[in-house]
Amino acid sequence: MIRGKTILLGISGGIAAYKAATLCSKLVQAGADVRVIMTESATKFITPLTLQTLSRNPVYIDTFDEFEPKVVSHINLADSADLVVVAPATANVLAKMATGLADDMLSTTLLATTAPVLVAPAMNVHMYVHPAVEQNMNLLAKRGVLFVEPGTGQLACGYVGKGRLAEPEEIVLAIEQFFATARTLEGKKVVITAGGTIERLDPVRYLTNDSSGKMGFALAETAARQGAEVTLISGRTAAEPAIPGIDIVHVESAEDMLGAVLARYETADIVIKSAAVADYRPVTRAANKIKKDGESLVLELERTTDILKTLGERKKQQILVGFAAETEQLEHYAMDKLRRKNCDLIVANDVTEPGAGFNVDTNVVRIFGEEGLIEQLPLMSKREVAGRILDQVAKRLKTREERG
Binding-site residues for CTP, in ranges, read 279, 289, 323, 337, 341
Q: Report the C-alpha gap between 358 and 208 in whole angstroms.
A: 13
Reduced to 3 states (helix: H, G, I; strand: E, B; else coil), residue 20 is helix
| Four-CA torsion 167, 173, 179, 185, nearest 10 degrees | -120
Q: Report the C-alpha gap between 342 and 335 in whole angstroms.
A: 10
- Of the candidates 244, 198, 197, 199, the one whose C-alpha atom is nearest the C-alpha of residue 217 is 244
Terminal alpha carbon distance of the chain: 32
Phi, psi of 254 (to 5 degrees): -60, -40
Residues with Cβ within 8 Å of 21's Cβ and at least 6 positions away in sequence, in order, are 46, 50, 51, 54
Residues with Cβ within 8 Å of 22's Cβ and at least 6 positions away in sequence, in order, are 168
Query: What b/e string do you get for 340-349 counting C-beta neighbours within 10 Å, with b at 16 or more?
Result: ebebbbbbbb
Residue 335 vs residues 278, 325, 345, 350: alpha-carbon distances, Å: 21, 13, 9, 14
Report the binding-site residues.
279, 289, 323, 337, 341
**Of all helices (H) and strands (E), which one includes residue 250?**
strand 247-250
DSSP assignment letter at 392 = H
Catalytic-residue membership of 157: yes
Q: 156, 157, 182, 263: which one is catalytic? A: 157
Sign of the alpha-carbon dihedral angle for 383, 389, 395, 398: negative
With 0-12 CB in 10 A as exposed, 13-18 as middle and 19+ as buried, what is 47? middle
Residues with catalytic annotation?
Answer: 157
